[in-house]
Amino acid sequence: MDSKFLKPYNSQETEGRIYEAWEESGLFNPDNLPGDRPTPYTIMMPPPNATGVLHMGHALGLTVEDVLIRFKRMQGFAALWLPGTDHAAIATQARVEKDIAKSEKKSRHDLGREELVRRIDEFVEGSRSTIRSQIRVMGSSCDWSREAFTFDEKRNFAVNTMFKRMYDAGLIYRGHRIVNWDPKGQTTISDDEIVYEERKDKFYYLKYGPFVIGTARPETKFGDKYVVMHPDDARYAEYAHGQKLTVEWINGPIEATIIKDEAVDPGFGTGVMTITPWHSAVDFELAEKHGLDKEQVIDWYGKLLPIAGEFAGMKIGEARDKIIEKLSEKGLVDRIEDYTHNVSTAERTGGVIEPQIKLQWFVDTEKEFALDHSEIPGIAAGVPITLKKLLRTAVESSAISIVPEHFNKTYFHWIDNLRPWCISRQIWYGHRVPVWYRGEEIAVGFLPPGEGWTQDEDTLDTWFSSGSWTFSTLGWPEATKDLAKFHPTDVLETAYEILFFWVARMILMSGFALGQVPFRTVYLHGIIRDAQGRKFSKSLGNGIDPIEVVGKFGADAARMALLVGNTPGTDSRMSEDKIKGYKHFGNKLWNITRFILENTDESDPNAPLTDTDRALRDELDALAADITADLDAYRLYLASEKIYHYIWHRLADVLLEESKVIFAGEDETAKASRRVLLVSLLRSVLILLHPFMPFVTEEIWQNLEDTEGFLMVAPWPVPASPAA
């Protein structure tokens, strides 16, 4: 027996060394795996943002993915887990701009586009290498030879190709539409990048000619020359659609036009409203419908424009009070009420969103097109379909299943509320919109030959590029071997928070580009909270750094703590005590090994098993089948607990205790049988525990005399069922 078993298990000494050995073996790459492996099993790592360091959520994701990939690798699949990082355009640029502002007191405009992008590239390079090493620390058995970055040359080619194909199919268009404008970040953002903050404001009832209208935003009302009511509202039956009347307003009389539309809720307020098409999505649609004028009232920095007369140049907040003051003097304020509502703010900058009309690029999710090839059930090639329908069908047809299942409803609910997806951003870091202009000419996708072309200034929403992650990583648009073999992928494992941001966009892009689903299963994990149930945050300072935890307790312990009892889609709490418990477990296994080795020196491998021992062997085989079924059904929280429970409370507490009595007795047949049994059980539990605690199991395996090669590729005892 190796003398190292005489001391407690030391994760610090072991884990780095084992990881290096795995990496050098080349076995993370499915091309190098032993035996004939016709069936692929693929997971694309959700690329962590290249903005900093890994947090507990990443650690959980990496652990779940690694358990699945190790399980399937041992089961004989050509297992590919492809790692990568995300350039996360807005987040990264915001981060670097902040750093520069702090250290050099310079803005991006001081630096210029080229220099800022160069600085960001530099930052990202450093950040990516940090992330790479952190992914390794968790024990992730991913194929580094295929590593990808959402903003490298290959991915840029894929993005430009995708843009061109969607443009040619009529699904991408440029238009003046209402967008979410972030005056602080000076960019548009998508609906999903908005966070709502509850605020208490005033709600003003203003006299507008013969009407009383309600508004929370008097500062937008200067241009309001349309007054809208429901056509069936008896109170206003005397007014006809299109009728004009002159009303006294903020800066004097204006001509108002009556519009009748069913969009107005007669039961809300007075049942009458005026509209501001430039600064409200609902009003914009009304204006489009009736062909009304639209006028900008607030500029790109949140200040009032000349239309506001004496209020021009004022910030919104300042103007609001003064306007009400003036209206009040003019006797036009009917009453003021308190009002609680949600204000839209930009997730990244905290700026209050100002809806604005802007010339932007959009993806149209309701326009019909046809796929020339489809493997998605319910969608036939050549038959007209919309992206919205595609998104729905992929999940409705069970081509994709979501774990836990109830997120299906959330997904459908989101699709039903989907609006055109604004994909252009006014930031400098990221894939630049692949469109070039020359006079009246426009070129899409790639820079055409010839002089005088100017590229669109905007960049693309980062989710536009990560939408193609499952296949751009495999070489698309080239028809590579990898693409043919590994796509569609098997599982997409991610946080439920980005179901829409990312998961839906991948379904959309994969469906459009390949006529395939991007993955067969979506496994959504919950948020990891602290012991008090709070979200980890910088301001609270309650973060548990996974890397620190691993240093202290080992990656194996951290992995188990993240897995056991943590059901998909449910938030869970993390405390050092829990992690410590599993460090103890690693040491328990270490000592079980020691006991078995000490008592089986003279083991005769050919000795027959007694009936009792045979039954004990069968018991573990049954457990193996059970654990396999749990893993196939994504019940990792049960599988991990079951093998833990067996090792500690069955193997150690019962079987080893019993064995002490047997070894102390006179029955040589029972002794011989028990030696064989214990060695056999030890080997089996190492295999079954390996996906969960890869380091300590591999280390023990390497130190057993009768084992060869890596535990990492030892055959799993239960073969894959044909259906799975």
Partner RNA sequence: GCGCGGUUAGCUCAGUUGGUAGAGCAUCUCAUUGACGUUGAGAGGGUCACAGGUUCGAAUCCUGUAUCGCGCACCA
Residues 64-123 that bind RNA (CB under 7 A): none
User: Mind giving me the DSSP string for 556-601?
Assistant: HHHHHHHHTT--TTS-EE--HHHHHHHHHHHHHHHHHHHHHHHH-T
Does the protein bind RNA through residue 657 (CB under 7 A)?
yes
CB proximity list for 466: less than 8 A, separation 6 or greater: 47, 86, 150, 502, 505, 506
Which residue of 130, 570, 612, 707 would you call a contact of RNA, by CB under 7 A? 570
Q: What angle do CA 692, 695, 701 make, to 5 degrees?
A: 105
Asked if the peptide bond before residue 477 counts as cis, ω within 30 degrees of 0, the response is yes
Kindly state the smallest distance separating residue 330's Cβ from RNA, in Å.
Answer: 19
Is the Cβ of residue 49 or residue 640 nearer to RNA in the bound state? 640
Does the protein bind RNA through residue 235 (CB under 7 A)?
no
Residues 577-616, interacting with RNA (CB under 7 A): 577-578, 581, 583-584, 587-588, 591-592, 594-595, 598
Which residue of 235, 406, 534, 614 would you call a contact of RNA, by CB under 7 A? 406
**Distance from CA of residue 362 to its chain's centroid?**
21
Listed residue (94, 109, 95, 91) closest to 47, CA to CA: 91
Per-residue x/- mask for RNA, residues 278 to 307, rule CB under 7 A? --xxx-------------------------
300: number of Cβ within 10 Å: 13
Binding segment (CB under 7 A) for RNA, from list 249-257, 406-414, 426-434, 677-685: 406-414
> What's at 103, amino acid-wise?
S
Does the protein bind RNA through residue 233 (CB under 7 A)?
no
Is the Cβ of residue 179 or residue 638 nearer to RNA in the bound state? 638
Kindly state the smallest distance separating residue 532's Cβ from RNA, in Å.
Answer: 8
Kindly state the smallest distance separating residue 259's Cβ from RNA, in Å.
Answer: 12
Cβ–Cβ < 8 Å for 71, 697: no
Does the protein bind RNA through residue 269 (CB under 7 A)?
yes
Both structure tokens of 187: 């960019």
State residue 491 phi and psi, 5-degree precision.
Answer: -130, 140
Per-residue x/- mask for RNA, residues 519 to 538, rule CB under 7 A? ----------x---x-----
Residues 698-717, interacting with RNA (CB under 7 A): none
Strand partners, 352: 345
Kindly state the smallest distance separating residue 356's Cβ from RNA, in Å.
Answer: 15
Is the Cβ of residue 115 or residue 261 nearer to RNA in the bound state? 261
Which residue of 635, 680, 710, 718 would you call a contact of RNA, by CB under 7 A? 635
Is the Cβ of residue 216 or residue 305 nearer to RNA in the bound state? 216
Per-residue x/- mask for RNA, residues 162 to 201, rule CB under 7 A? -----------------------------xx-x-x-x---
Listed residue (519, 546, 536, 541) closest to 571, CA to CA: 536
Residues 410-449, interacting with RNA (CB under 7 A): 410, 413-414, 417
Is the Cβ of residue 388 or residue 529 nearer to RNA in the bound state? 529
- How far is Cα 176 from Cα 161, in angstroms, rounded to an integer? 24
Both structure tokens of 362: 């959009």
Does the protein bind RNA through residue 337 (CB under 7 A)?
no
Does the protein bind RNA through residue 214 (CB under 7 A)?
yes
Does the protein bind RNA through residue 653 (CB under 7 A)?
yes
Kindly state the smallest distance separating residue 60's Cβ from RNA, in Å.
Answer: 14
Element (H, E) at 443: strand 441-444
Is the Cβ of residue 49 or residue 628 nearer to RNA in the bound state? 628
Which residue of 360, 424, 473, 572 would you call a contact of RNA, by CB under 7 A? 572
Q: Radius of gyration of the chain from Cα atoms?
A: 32
Is the Cβ of residue 330 or residue 645 nearer to RNA in the bound state? 645
Binding segment (CB under 7 A) for RNA, from list 156-164, 210-218, 445-453, 484-492: 210-218
Is the Cβ of residue 105 or residue 538 nearer to RNA in the bound state? 538
**Collapsed DSSP state (helix, strand, coil) of residue 397:** coil
**Collapsed DSSP state (helix, strand, coil) of residue 101:** helix
Kindly state the smallest distance separating residue 377's Cβ from RNA, in Å.
Answer: 23
- How far is Cα 558 from Cα 266, in angstroms, rounded to an integer? 58
Binding segment (CB under 7 A) for RNA, from list 179-187, 394-402, 481-489, 641-649: 641-649
Is the Cβ of residue 142 or residue 213 nearer to RNA in the bound state? 213
Residues 8-27, interacting with RNA (CB under 7 A): 8-9
Is the Cβ of residue 300 or residue 339 nearer to RNA in the bound state? 339
672: number of Cβ within 10 Å: 20
Q: Crossing angle of helices 636-645/555-563, nearest 10°?
A: 120
Does the protein bind RNA through residue 652 (CB under 7 A)?
yes
Which residue of 144, 173, 203, 453 would you call a contact of RNA, by CB under 7 A? 203
Strand 272-274: give its sheet, edge to edge: 244-249, 252-260, 226-229, 272-274
Does the protein bind RNA through residue 264 (CB under 7 A)?
yes
Both structure tokens of 589: 């296994």
Number of residues interacting with RNA: please give it, by CB under 7 A: 74
Binding segment (CB under 7 A) for RNA, from list 18-26, 212-220, 690-698, 709-717: 212-220
Per-residue x/- mask for RNA, residues 482 to 501, rule CB under 7 A? ------------------x-
Is the Cβ of residue 116 or residue 346 nearer to RNA in the bound state? 346
Residues 143-162, interacting with RNA (CB under 7 A): none
Does the protein bind RNA through residue 641 (CB under 7 A)?
yes
Which residue of 567, 612, 703, 707 would you call a contact of RNA, by CB under 7 A? 567
Which residue of 163, 428, 637, 692 would you call a contact of RNA, by CB under 7 A? 637
253: number of Cβ within 10 Å: 10
- How far is Cα 381 from Cα 389, in angstroms, rounded to an integer? 14
105: number of Cβ within 10 Å: 8
Kindly state the smallest distance separating residue 550's Cβ from RNA, in Å.
Answer: 15
**Distance from CA of residue 340 to its chain's centroid?**
31
Which residue of 61, 185, 209, 271 would you call a contact of RNA, by CB under 7 A? 271
Percent of the chain as helix, strand, coil, to the nearest 5: 45, 20, 35
- How far is Cα 721 from Cα 698, in angstroms, rounded to an integer? 26
Which residue of 173, 369, 453, 648 would you call a contact of RNA, by CB under 7 A? 648
Q: Crossing angle of helices 668-689/576-599, nearest 10°?
A: 150
Longest dimension (CA), the chain: 112
Q: Crossing angle of helices 576-599/546-553, nearest 10°?
A: 30
Residues 537-566, interacting with RNA (CB under 7 A): 565-566
State residue 23 phi and psi, 5-degree precision.
Answer: -60, -45
Is the Cβ of residue 513 or residue 696 nearer to RNA in the bound state? 696
- How far is Cα 45 from Cα 566, in angstroms, rounded to an integer? 20
Kindly state the smallest distance separating residue 42's Cβ from RNA, in Å.
Answer: 25
Cβ–Cβ < 8 Å for 20, 64: no
State residue 492 phi and psi, 5-degree precision.
Answer: -115, 120
